[in-house]
Amino acid sequence: MWAFKALLGSCGKRTMIDYGCYFRYFNKIDIGSGVSINRGFRVFPSYQVKSARIRIGNDVMIAPGVTLLGAGHDPHDGSLSDVGESIEIGAKAFIGANSTIRYGVTVGQGAVVAAGAVVVTDVPAGVIVGGVPARPIG
C-alpha cells in the first residue's frame, strides 16, 4: 500500500484505499489526508491535457463503485476530439456508491453526491445532489 501511495502525485496521511481500485496516470492524482476510498473506485485523469488533474480534498469519503472521468470526447466535433479537464472534490464531501463525476466538475466542501448520480456540472458546497444528470435534491 505505501509503495502504491508513493506513485500518486500526492497522498496525505490516514488515507485508506480499499482493494480493487483502478488508478490511471497516478502522478496526475492528488489525495488529501483522512480520505476513505472504497473498493471498485476508478479514476481516469486526462492524458492529453497535461494541466488537468484529479484532486480529492481532506476527509472525503468515497463509496464503492465510484468513477471519476477526467477525459472524454467532444460530441459536437465530428472527429470526436479529446477533451479533458480537472476534477476537484472539496474537503468533507461524500460521494455515493456507483456515482460518476465528469471532467471539469468541482464538488464543493461538504457536498453530498447521492448513489448512482451522474455529475456533469459543479456542486456547490454543502449541497446534496442526485439523479441523472445530478440536480440538487436536499
Residue-wise burial string across 12-47, b where 16 or more C-beta atoms lie within 10 A, e elsewhere: beebebeeebebbbeebbbbbebbebbebbebbbbe
Main-chain dihedrals φ then ψ at residue 27, nearest 5 degrees: -70, -5
Tell me which of 73, 77, 131, 133 is the catalytic residue. 73
- 90 near 106, Cβ under 8 Å? yes
CA distance 91 to 58: 5
Which helix (H) or strand (E) segment holds residue 5: the answer is helix 2-7
Q: How many CB atoms lie within 10 A of CB 72?
A: 16
C-alpha cell at 97: 456508491
73 is catalytic: yes
Catalytic residues: 73
